[in-house]
């Protein structure tokens, strides 16, 4: 690989830090999308905004006030004209068309942040260097700021390539957290003609220098919002008139976590949020829960989901309260195509900073890139999910998370080399 210029590498780090400072959760990435568009256009790309290809019936978990978010994005430095162009849906794609016949390679970079509060501790690098989140309760604690910056640097490197064939499509996907955006990108047909598809993630519990051409073992997952509606009453005066939504939700929470494991393989359940009640002396008339279920296969996922909905309904019935469940996100599972995983790990060997490159590595998370992977594989293409090791200060989604930026040039090099092998 020819040496990448210091300017490209420095710009990449600077962009990552800028994105880190202004994190945006799923479907609110107006500033992020505007910045990506601005950078790509300056490089000569035509950008296609989400609103042009995302259909509302494929959008999950979008409960936002778009006007407020757009206003915030502009206050935080987004170009107002671009925010106007973006329309309803965040995210975009752009294509590098070599003009020569050859394979279509699509890459996915997720751009959203996590609902998490960033630590203000002095030993936390973003705090120390002044690029910690300015958006309360929002934080890039999964590394997607890095993914976005790597995608933009790759876009820049591609423009210098004179020998490539085919097309390279760069997908900047909104709302990966909570697995909400991947399905909409897939159903938009963005990878229907792709011969190769690559998603990439930094960290994943592996140190800087380790690279995995294919990550497997994703869990199918469903994200649910649950609303319990009871009846408020005076807790001293006439408690018998109340219908207690708090107790229904609390009963459900404990029993959801008591769902038996399955001998057939891994399952997961989590009640991540439970808010209930209004006042000390009021029988709680409402409760709100955010839960997720997971399973290693469609069958295992269905097992947990079915038990969970049964427990939720039964708990509501016990306390005579109404229940409403709303699906907020969903992801299937996919396995990396072995040939492509091997090609990536071979391409990684030549990248400076790579100490070890393996073909496959299991992990127990979920990612809605699986929708895209599966679509490509079903249509005869190859797809892989590349793991780029990055030493982290704390686990993913923790407020003290920060990844080693040395993993970014590695990620860039691996993707660049891989494209040269596929489209060279």
The residues binding Zn ion (CB under 5 A) are 142
Q: Which residue is nearest to Zn ion (CB)?
A: 142
CB of 368 to Zn ion, least distance (A): 10
139 and 114 in contact (C-beta within 8 Å)?
A: yes
CA-CA distance, 160 to 156, in Å (whole number)? 7
CB of 82 to Zn ion, least distance (A): 25
Nearer to Zn ion, 98 or 398 (CB): 398
CB of 396 to Zn ion, least distance (A): 5
Nearer to Zn ion, 61 or 381 (CB): 61
Nearer to Zn ion, 142 or 415 (CB): 142
| Strands, E assignment, 203-305 | 210-216, 220-229, 267-276, 286-295
285 and 230 in contact (C-beta within 8 Å)?
A: yes
CB of 62 to Zn ion, least distance (A): 18
CA-CA distance, 6 to 154, in Å (whole number)? 14
16 and 163 in contact (C-beta within 8 Å)?
A: no
Nearer to Zn ion, 137 or 264 (CB): 137
Nearer to Zn ion, 106 or 142 (CB): 142
Altogether, the residues listed in the chain come to a count of: 424
CB of 187 to Zn ion, least distance (A): 21
Q: Nearest Cα to 228, choosing from 291, 165, 136?
A: 291
CA-CA distance, 138 to 394, in Å (whole number)? 16
Nearer to Zn ion, 142 or 422 (CB): 142
CB of 169 to Zn ion, least distance (A): 21
CB of 405 to Zn ion, least distance (A): 16
Q: Nearest Cα to 270, choosing from 258, 280, 285?
A: 258
CB of 324 to Zn ion, least distance (A): 27
Q: Nearest Cα to 221, choosing from 173, 177, 273?
A: 177
Which residues, at least 6 apart from 42, have a Cβ–Cβ distance to it below 8 Å?
A: none
CB of 367 to Zn ion, least distance (A): 7
Nearer to Zn ion, 359 or 368 (CB): 368
224 and 321 in contact (C-beta within 8 Å)?
A: no
Secondary structure element (H or E) that encloses residue 116, with its range? none
DSSP letter for each residue of 121-148: -TTSHHHHTT-S--STTEE--SSHHHHH
Nearer to Zn ion, 255 or 398 (CB): 398
Secondary structure element (H or E) that encloses residue 108, with its range? strand 104-110
Q: Nearest Cα to 405, choosing from 394, 392, 416, 417?
A: 392
Nearer to Zn ion, 139 or 341 (CB): 139
Q: How many whole angstroms from its chain centre is CA 156?
A: 23
Nearer to Zn ion, 142 or 321 (CB): 142
Instruction: Indicate the burial class of 288 (C-beta count within 10 angstroms; 0-12, 13-18, 19 or more).
Output: middle
CB of 148 to Zn ion, least distance (A): 11
Collapse the DSSP code of 232 into the 3-class scheme (helix H, G, I; strand E, B; otherwise coil) and give the result: coil
Collapse the DSSP code of 210 into the 3-class scheme (helix H, G, I; strand E, B; otherwise coil) and give the result: strand
């Amino acid at each position: 690989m020819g040496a990448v210029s210091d300017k490209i590498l420095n710009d990449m780090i600077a962009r990552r830090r800028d994105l880190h400072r202004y994190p945006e959760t799923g479907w609110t990435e107006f500033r992020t999308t505007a910045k990506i568009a601005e950078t790509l256009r300056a490089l000569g790309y035509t950008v296609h905004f989400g609103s042009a290809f995302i259909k509302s019936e494929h959008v999950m978990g979008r409960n936002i006030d778009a006007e407020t978010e757009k206003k915030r994005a502009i206050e935080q430095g987004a170009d107002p004209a671009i925010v106007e162009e973006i329309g309803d849906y965040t995210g975009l794609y752009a294509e590098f068309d070599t003009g020569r016949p050859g394979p279509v390679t699509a890459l996915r970079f997720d751009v959203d942040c996590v609902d998490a509060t960033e630590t203000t501790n002095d030993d936390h690098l973003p705090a120390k260097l002044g690029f910690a989140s300015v958006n309360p309760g929002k934080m890039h604690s999964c590394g997607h700021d890095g993914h976005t910056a790597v995608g933009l640097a790759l876009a820049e490197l591609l423009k210098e390539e004179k020998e490539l064939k085919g097309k390279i499509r760069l997908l900047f996907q909104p709302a990966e957290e909570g697995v909400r955006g991947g399905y909409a990108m897939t159903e938009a047909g963005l990878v229907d003609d792709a011969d190769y598809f690559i998603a990439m993630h930094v960290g994943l519990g592996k140190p800087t220098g380790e690279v995995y051409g294919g990550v497997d073992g994703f869990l199918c997952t469903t994200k649910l919002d649950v609303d319990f509606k009871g009846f408020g009453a005076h807790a001293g005066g006439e408690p018998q008139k109340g219908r207690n939504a708090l107790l229904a939700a609390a009963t459900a929470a404990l029993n959801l976590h008591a769902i038996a494991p399955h001998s057939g393989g891994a399952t997961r359940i989590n009640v991540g949020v439970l808010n209930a009640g209004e006042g000390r002396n009021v029988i709680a008339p409402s409760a709100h829960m955010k839960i997720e279920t997971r399973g290693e296969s469609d069958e295992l996922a269905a097992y947990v989901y079915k038990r969970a909905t049964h427990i939720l309904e039964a708990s509501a019935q016990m306390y005579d309260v109404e229940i409403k469940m709303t699906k907020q996100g969903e992801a299937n599972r996919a396995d990396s195509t072995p040939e492509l995983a091997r090609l990536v790990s071979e391409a990684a060997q030549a990248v400076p900073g790579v100490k070890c490159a393996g073909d496959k590595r299991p992990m127990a998370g979920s990612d809605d890139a699986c929708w895209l992977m599966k679509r490509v594989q079903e249509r005869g293409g190859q797809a892989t999910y590349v793991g780029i090791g990055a030493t982290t200060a704390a686990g993913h989604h923790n407020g003290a998370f920060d990844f080693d930026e040395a993993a970014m040039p590695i990620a860039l090099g691996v993707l660049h080399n891989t494209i040269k092998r596929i489209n060279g």
